[in-house]
A = this chain, B = another copy of it.
């Protein structure tokens, strides 16, 4: 038997046929067209699933279920997408019902960040463990919690908002309305802001030669640091400490078997991981009593969403 995993994004709908062992057998994608009525998006999703199965000469009888990872908040009991900022007029969309009009299979829903964490547990950086935490450092700080091999999302699927814990009470403004959330310090967006401030305050930093303020990216301070720029090093050191500090909070709460970090910043590799491990070992609760907390970089990239979606229900 196979499972279908769907990663519904703002730009693309990525669909995979997934084996019971958690491997992607084949993939196909189609444009989301996020501004369309949702019924049209779901029809294209169904068509793409059926086309992919036909390509692979796999019949629907060989498919046990379809899982969809989506931005926003879902209700798996009713099969509704409760809301998602990424889509137009998106409130209480009967996702399951819309898909089952075309394909008569069990349909399960999950939030994309939660589902990606599960994917990494099924086949990726935390393969085979029971309890794992994953954060994704991007525009925001996304989070996923896996407990006993299953997604934990809390009541109303409103938990696992791991970016929205305080780093500094009443500190930097966060997009959620609160001040001082971890996300406001540790997201790629925050790093870009921190870099811009440093460039303005330090006209002699080579970052000002490398790029204009408008074109700063999360790579700018890391590249400049490698060229020996002291201002950039300070930006990077501080940013990495922000990441690590919030990670310690989550470790003290969950003590997961594996703590997974995802997002583009992970391409920095040991430049990021070595100082994070050092900070974690120095600050984690009861640090010297227990073996070192395992920290790993996400391995599956976008495939995590497909694989995790396929296994929302085991």
**Hey, which bits of chain A sit against chain B, CB under 8 A?**
73, 82-83, 131, 145, 147-148, 152-162, 164-169, 176-178, 242, 245-246, 248-257, 283, 285-286, 289-291
| Cβ–Cβ < 8 Å partners of A250 in chain B | 253
How far apart sit A215 and B61, CA to CA, in the bound complex (Å)? 75
Given contacts A159-B253, A169-B242, 9 further A-B contacts (CB under 8 A): A148-B148, A154-B253, A154-B255, A154-B256, A156-B290, A165-B165, A165-B253, A168-B169, A178-B285
Q: Give the Cβ gap from A156 to chain B, nearest Cβ, in Å.
A: 4
Q: SS class of chain A's interface: helix, strand, loop or mixed?
A: loop
| Cβ–Cβ < 8 Å partners of A251 in chain B | 159
Q: Give the Cβ gap from A9 to chain B, nearest Cβ, in Å.
A: 21
Query: Do A131 and B155 have beta carbons less than 8 Å apart?
Result: yes
Given contacts A168-B169, A178-B283, contact A255 B147 (CB under 8 A): no
Which of B158, B159, B249, B286 is close to A289, meaning CB atoms less than 8 Å apart? Answer: B158
| Cβ–Cβ < 8 Å partners of A145 in chain B | 253
How far apart sit A186 and B148, CA to CA, in the bound complex (Å)? 31
Number of copies: 2
A177 nearest CB neighbor, chain B only: B283
| Cβ–Cβ < 8 Å partners of A164 in chain B | 249, 252, 285
Interface centre among A153, A245, A257 (most CB of B within 10 A): A245
| Cβ–Cβ < 8 Å partners of A167 in chain B | 166, 169
| Cβ–Cβ < 8 Å partners of A245 in chain B | 166, 169
A150 nearest CB neighbor, chain B only: B148
